[in-house]
Amino acid sequence: MDTAPGPKAVTIVAAAVLPVALAAVIGNLATIPNLAPWYAGLVKPWFNPPNGVFGPVWTLLYLMMATAFWRVLRLTPPTPGRRAAIGWFLAQMALNAAWSVAFFGARSPLAGVIVIGWLIVTLAATIRAFAGLDRLAAALLVPYFAWVSFAAVLTTAVWWLNR
């Protein structure tokens, strides 16, 4: 008996992973070259985590995001709310990548504040849309929302301290 996943299952997994991986790659391309000396030279608030915390946290969050998205993508296309949930997810992933480009790539904490504000709004809408389809998918995004909320405070503090 063949227990390998069919082509449709593989396609859904790939579709779930691709936007998350793309955001991670774009984020890393914008971030890594600007860690030193630019980011290292910024004044940071007392609650700024050590740089070594960010990689493991984001890795776990990206895995949870891809899993949540996969749970929604595997629903049949005519499922009410599915299309909107996919749109919200993709919008917030674009903003996820845009934050790194704005903050690190453009070396603009203020642009980072603006982008992360929109990220919080679209992420909240994503969680709400996912909750109507799959409560576990929505729950998988809650730690991400908490981390982005913390990151918003951190980004705002970095902007304020370096203006």
Give the model's pLDDT for residue 3.
Answer: 57
Percent of the chain exceeding pLDDT 90 equals 94
Q: Is residue 71 part of a domain?
A: yes
For residue 89, what pLDDT band results from cuts at 50, 70 and 90?
A: very high
Peptide bond into 80 cis (omega under 30): no
Q: Is residue 1 part of a domain?
A: no
What digits encode the pLDDT tens for the residues 100-143?
Answer: 999 999 999 999 999 999 999 999 999 999 999 999 999 999 99
For residue 6, what pLDDT band results from cuts at 50, 70 and 90?
A: confident
Q: Is residue 81 part of a domain?
A: yes
CATH value at residue 16: 1.20.1260.100
Q: Is residue 45 part of a domain?
A: yes
Q: Is residue 2 part of a domain?
A: no
What digits encode the pLDDT tens for the residues 48-79?
Answer: 999 999 999 999 999 999 999 999 999 999 99
Q: Is residue 120 part of a domain?
A: yes
Counting the structural domains of the chain, the total is 1
Give the model's pLDDT for residue 7.
Answer: 77
- pLDDT of 1 strictly over 80: no
Largest CA distance in the chain: 64
User: Cα separation of 148 and 141, whole Å?
Assistant: 10
Give the domain range for residue 59: 7-161
User: Cα separation of 148 and 28, whole Å?
Assistant: 17
Q: Is residue 50 part of a domain?
A: yes
Q: Is residue 112 part of a domain?
A: yes
